[in-house]
Amino acid sequence: MSAPVIVEATVKQTATLIFMHGLGDTGHGWSSALAAIRPPFMKVICPTAPTQPVSLNAGFRMPSWFDLKTLDIGGPEDEPGIQAARDSVHGMIQKEVSAGIPANRIVLGGFSQGGALALYSALTYDQPLAGVVALSCWLPLHKQFPDAKVNSDDVPIFQAHGDYDPVVPYKFGQLSASLLKSFMKNVTFKTYSGLSHSSSDDEMDDVKNFITLSLLFSITGHNQ
């Protein structure tokens, strides 16, 4: 895997955002947008997925966190690939924890396939995180939940989806959110009217507010 794009904190670092891009993108795709909204004490890590063949794109090789076989909600999924990608995300979290940033000061996020990975990685991580930002995405291996969940029920999740998304259908986002709400206590699902498979200024403002609030809560609501 190529080295992640890192935006260092501009004051003493006390928090980290690890954000995964969508299919075919790289860590550079999101780094400047995230740098513009993160608090000054937060380091941003934007890894680039390994380049591998993607079934959905006729086996064409591109940056992809795991293989996508179909975008049907009940279709087959690349379970070994999803779990391997999750292990790599858990390794990134662990590296930050070893460097002195507590898990409850780490936000996981992602867009599309990266958002799917962020959700799955957060729910299967064994320490409470500050929060999860899940944009235009779905919960992978959803039939395994809530049994597969090992994290706290209280981890805040901000899920956002455009209702004109031609790539990851809005309905998938809704279905994932209602499943998450059945076993997680702090799930927000926000709809962006007219938004396709992309982000918007409104959405980024909401992400900024969510990150600020979840880090505030990590100081007052959890033991440091």
Catalytic residues: 112, 165, 197
CA dist., res. 64 & res. 41, Å (int): 30
| CB burial of residue 91 (10 Å; 0-12, 13-18, 19+) | exposed
Q: Which residue has the tokens 């380049």?
A: 51
Beta-strand runs (E) in the chain: 5-7, 15-20, 42-46, 51-54, 60-63, 106-111, 131-135, 157-162, 187-192
